[in-house]
Amino acid sequence: MISKTAIEHLQQRLGTANVAFEKEDLLVLGYDSTPGVHHLPEVAVYPTSSEGVLAAMEIARSEGLPIVPRGSGTGLSGGSVPVKGGMVICLNRMNRILEIDEENLAATCEAGVITLDLFNATAAKGLFYPPDPGSQKISTLGGNVMEDAGGLRGLKYGVTRDYVMALQCVLPDGSLLTTGGKSVKDVAGYSFKDLLVGSEGTLGIITAVTVKLIPPPQARRTFLAYFDDIRTAGEAVSKIIAAKIIPSTMEIMDRATINCVEDYVRIGLPRQMAALLLIEVDGHPAQVEEEAAGVEKILKAVKAAEIHVAKDAEEAGQLAAARRTALSALARVSPTTLLEDATVPRSMLAETFAEIERLTAKYQLKVGTFGHAGDGNLHPTVLCDERNQEEMARAHAFYDDLYTQVLAWGGTVSGEHGIGLAKKEYLARQIGAGGVKVMRRIKDAFDPAGILNPGKIFDEHDPCTQTHVEEGFRVSH
């Protein structure tokens, strides 16, 4: 139990309005967007500066409290769920954009800035910050960095990692580390920055982020292609890539997803189609012309049922927005949406769809699939009810089989949502006990006391005792 004096101490250092310990405040910080996980912290703080973060860290350490950083809680692997209780540090009140540096094409902001706010602020200056996770209206930059979030434009423009230039970070020992900078080249020692990106809040707390900006594309064209068979859609994606065309976006939705999204947005998506692809090409106008023609040719060759070109930017934006609601819209159908993050080499897309179909039938489940098809990153989502134990067991078996296959194809168990709580077991399967061991050593180097976000990515006990784990380790990227 946290002591009364510790709470008073926190209130003094951070301001009373920034410390919460009523049960009602704690209850609502016990979850993120991952289904089925809920654990209460003992206290929550809302620092408004890095000094506040440092103070909270210091007090938590002296109290022996585990510390869990939290952005907006949109994570899909349980990263910000305080499994061991302790203190949740909410970063959403640190939401100032500190600088947009047009000379160096860089922007610096506090960790709690909402992704879309940064995008809009840079766009207002004629610049472009490409990473755009489906949750961009809600998620924070800090959360994006810690999950290495991808997005709809990931195919051409890459993921958050590709844009992080510098990080300001409070380490578990109470020191403030700045790593990276505005220089575009930097090989001075180990790249802490790269280690921190994707570390899911287990190595340090990000207080500020500097990201790279690029000039926006001058032109874009958006297609919507419908298919009678989802495998044909997969084939189309593989063929477009094989034709050396890299659209900025190639997103897929299957029939179940189309219907749920349409129920929400009501923009006239065709409910009877087996799948749709949202494809966008962008860049120099001449290049857009050429690539669009190439895309259209391939879509026709694989016999897409229908091809629709968005008439203007507004319609294109509407389509992308509709796609972003896919996961939440699927939640209309059932109380629990168990989403996965299976990612395969792109040549295996059609096979992956076939495998998902086979397993759906085998385990008698309701599944909606959508995702970043162009990246080979799919989100097959089991629509179930967490109160039904038997159904949940089938869902688990479904993923078990699927991941076995995905790994056999050289894929990964997480394309963008991280391991968190949800996929620890699968991580060990992918990188082996040796891989987990090295990761744990890195964690120990940053956080010898093990107080920062404990229980995430890997268990605290020795992973070698786990079943399924093969020796040796495989590099997956």
Partner 1 sequence: MYRTKEKLGNFTAEDAPQYEDVLQCMRCGFCLPTCPTFALTGRERSSPRGRVALARAVAEQKLEFTEAVKEEAFFCLDCRACTTACPSGVRAGEVMEVCRSQSHQQLPPPHLGKSFRAFILQRMLPDPDLLEKSMLPARLYQRLGIQWLVRHSKALKLGPAWMEKVEGMLPQLAAPLRPQLPELIPARGEKRGKVGFFLGCVMTLLYPGVSRQSVRVLAHQGFDVLTPQATRCCGAPHLSEGDRQTARELALFNLELFLRQDVDYIVTDCAGCGASLKEYEEILEGLAEHDRLAAFRAKIRDVSEFLAEVGLRTAGLTAVAKTVTYHEPCHLCHAQGISRQPRELLRRIPGVELREMAEASWCCGSAATWGLKFSAASQQVLDRKLNNVSQTGADILVTANPGCQLQLAWGVRQAGLKQEVLHLMELLGAATPE
Interacting residues toward partner 1 by CB under 8 A: 20, 22-25, 27-29, 31-33, 35, 46, 72-74, 90, 92-93, 114, 135, 137-138, 260-261, 264, 325, 327-329, 331-332, 335-337
Rounded-to-integer distance, Cα 120 and Cα 157, Å: 17
Determine if 35 is a binding residue for ligand FAD (CB under 6 A): no
Point out which residues bind ligand SF4 (CB under 6 A). Answer: 328, 331
Q: Does 155 bind ligand FAD (CB under 6 A)?
A: no
Phi-psi region of 105 (alpha: psi -120 to 50; beta: other; left: phi over 0): left
C-beta separation of 80 from 88 below 8 A = yes
Q: Is 156 helix (H, G, I), strand (E, B) or coil?
A: helix
Strands 377-384 and 367-372: antiparallel
Residue 34 binds ligand FAD, judged by CB under 6 A:
no
Q: Which is nearer to partner 1, 24 or 390 (CB)?
A: 24
Q: Quote the least distance from Cβ 257 to ligand FAD, whole Å.
A: 12
Residue 318 CB partners (closer than 8 Å, separation 6+): 265, 267
Rounded CA separation 286/218 (Å)? 10
| Token pair in block for residue 46 | 């809302």
Alpha carbon distance 15, 29 (integer Å): 19
Task: Confirm or reject binding of residue 69 to ligand FAD (CB under 6 A).
Answer: yes
Residue 453: contacted member of ligand SF4, partner 1, ligand FAD, none (CB under 5 to 8 Å, by partner type): ligand FAD
Token digits for 356? 């998902």
Q: Can you say how many angstroms the Cα of residue 257 is from the centroid of all Cα atoms in its chain?
A: 19
* Residues 367, 364: Cα–Cα separation, whole Å: 9
Binding part of the chain for ligand FAD, among 69-77, 119-127, 289-297, 402-410 by CB under 6 A, reads 69-77
Residue closer to ligand FAD by CB (options 250, 302) is 250
Nearer to ligand FAD, 43 or 149 (CB): 149
Q: How far is CA 330 from CA 191, 366, 384, 415, in A?
A: 39, 11, 11, 20
Instruction: Work out whether 134 is an interface residue with ligand FAD (CB under 6 A).
Output: yes
The number of CA neighbours under 13 Å toward the Cβ of 285 is 0
Write down the least CB distance from residue 429 to partner 1, Å: 27
Q: What is the distance between the alpha carbons of residues 99 and 476, in angstroms, rounded to a whole number?
A: 36
**Residue with Cβ nearer partner 1 (75 or 217):** 75
> Minimum Å distance from CB 114 to partner 1?
7
210 binds ligand FAD (CB under 6 A): no
Interaction between residue 172 and ligand FAD (CB under 6 A):
no
**Strand 249-254 versus strand 219-227 pairing type:** unpaired
Of these, 66, 130, 133, 283, which contacts ligand FAD (CB under 6 A)? 133
28 binds, among partner 1, ligand FAD, ligand SF4, none (CB under 5 to 8 A by kind): partner 1
Taking CB under 6 A as the criterion, the residue among 74, 257, 336, 352 binding ligand FAD is 74
Residue 325 burial class via C-beta count within 10 angstroms: exposed 0-12, middle 13-18, buried 19 and up: middle
Q: Which is nearer to partner 1, 23 or 311 (CB)?
A: 23
Closest distance to ligand SF4 from the beta carbon of 106 (Å): 33
- Phi, psi of 114, deg, nearest 5: -75, 135
Query: Is the CB of 76 or the CB of 298 nearer to partner 1?
Result: 76
CB of 72 to partner 1, least distance (A): 6
List, in order, residues 6 or more apart from 322 with CB less than 8 Å away. Answer: 261, 265, 267, 269
Q: Using CB under 6 A as the criterion, which residues of the chain lie in contact with ligand FAD when the complex forms?
A: 32-33, 68-76, 79-80, 91, 111, 133-135, 139-140, 142-144, 146-147, 149-151, 200-201, 205-206, 327-328, 416-417, 453
